[in-house]
Amino acid sequence: MKRYYILIITAAVALTSCKKWLDVRPESEVEQEVLFSKEDGFKDAINGLYSRAVIENLYGREMIAGIPEVLSQNYSIGYQNGWNYRETMLFNFKNSTFMDRRDDIWEGLYNVIANANIVLSYVDKR
């Protein structure tokens, strides 16, 4: 009988929830209204745009020393290419690696543009 009481109490404790515990917001997420309420929020948002633009898929490699340099034939790429640029050098734009890189560039740039538009919309409100 004691066993059943312990089982019931354990089940009751395990199946109950604490609403306040579930409503915790991550510290890295800030609501837009709060972020753009002060000048420092705008600066943080602009810094976020720059940090997003310099990732490896964008200006960190691909748009500076990657695809443009390969297409302009500034690299001599042999058959053993670790970065898989050979097909791009041969202007094979149907290659899946090239298409993935191209799509990553477009997606990343439009992400930066969309976030810049959000910042600009709050500048207009202030």
Q: What are 75-125's pLDDT values in tens digits?
A: 888 778 878 888 999 999 999 999 999 999 999 999 999 999 999 999 988
Quote the number of domains for the chain.
1
Q: Is residue 8 situated within a structural domain?
A: no
Q: Are 13 and 83 in contact (CB under 8 A)?
A: no
Q: Are 57 and 101 in contact (CB under 8 A)?
A: yes
Query: Would you state the pLDDT for residue 44?
Result: 92
Q: Is residue 23 situated within a structural domain?
A: no
- Domain span at residue 102? 29-125
Q: Is residue 4 situated within a structural domain?
A: no
